[in-house]
Amino acid sequence: MIGLKRVGESFSQLLNVQEMGLDYVKIDSAFMADIDFNPANHAFIRGFCSLAHTFGINVYADGVKRADHQDLFIELGIDGVVSHIEVIEHLLDD
């Protein structure tokens, strides 16, 4: 039988994000690189966005190279993108 111990240890650090008073976080570009082919990244991003939004924190995707991913990002809960062309562009108008 294979298991993983101390799973909550690293995740508990995410809860400290609430106390930092952040306005936004950027998801690392590694999660964006294979966004078309990796459903595990979808689950992580969706969950992370949900947690961040609970704390009133916006989430931006870093290293975005394709504009045609906009619908996917909206579906996953991403608030905007950071790319080489535009600095930060909100996907959803308030």
Report yes or no: 81 and 91 within 8 Å, Cβ to Cβ: yes
Q: How far apart are CA 72 and CA 6, in angstroms?
A: 32
pLDDT grade, residue 3 (50/70/90)?
very low
Residue-wise pLDDT tens digits, 35-67: 888 888 899 899 989 988 998 989 998 888 777
CB-based contact 82:60 (threshold 8 Å): yes
pLDDT value for 77: 95
Domain ranges of the chain: 22-90
